[in-house]
């Protein structure tokens, strides 16, 4: 009877990471091929801005029909998604760079707004008891003010 093969945890992790790397490379390769073909079709006039917008709308309708999303995005959101795809297909590096700056500014503003909001930190009962013991208070916590 042959002995069962033993594999160390490091070997299993190494195999899994190599598979993830291979899948990542395949995904990047697929994206590059899509970008090249989309740009070629766009340059030939076989793919238009309206085609991209309609395809984005169709994609979201399919996601809605499948139950992957709960509601159809509004026209402004669909147009924004289509514009991003169109910028990429057109190879418009300056517009993409500007969109990235605008997005970064929005994220920073949201973070700053979130940091301005008052925070309520809640201590666990065990922490309150430990603080009471440290302060020598045996009558109950005075840290909670009604």
What local confidence, expressed as pLDDT, does residue 64 receive? 95
Q: How far apart are CA 114 and CA 41, in angstroms?
A: 44
Mean pLDDT within 54-83: 95
pLDDT in tens, 32-64: 999 999 999 999 999 999 999 999 999 999 999
pLDDT(146) > 50 = no
Q: Where are the domains of the chain?
A: 12-114
Instruction: Decide: pTM greater than 0.75.
Output: no
């Amino acid at each position: 009877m042959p002995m069962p093969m033993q594999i160390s945890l490091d070997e299993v992790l190494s195999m899994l990471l190599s598979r993830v790397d291979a899948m990542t490379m395949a995904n990047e390769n697929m994206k590059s091929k899509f970008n090249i073909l989309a740009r070629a079709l766009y340059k030939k006039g076989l793919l238009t801005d309206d085609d991209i917008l309609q395809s984005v709308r169709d994609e979201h309708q399919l996601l809605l029909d499948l139950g992957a999303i709960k509601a159809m995005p509004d026209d402004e959101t669909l147009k924004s998604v289509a514009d991003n795809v169109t910028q990429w297909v057109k190879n418009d590096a300056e517009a993409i760079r500007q969109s990235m700056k605008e997005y970064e500014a929005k994220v920073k503003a949201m973070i700053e707004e979130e940091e301005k909001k008052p925070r309520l930190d809640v201590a666990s009962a065990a922490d309150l008891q430990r603080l009471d013991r440290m302060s020598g208070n045996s009558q109950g916590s005075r840290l909670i003010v009604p």
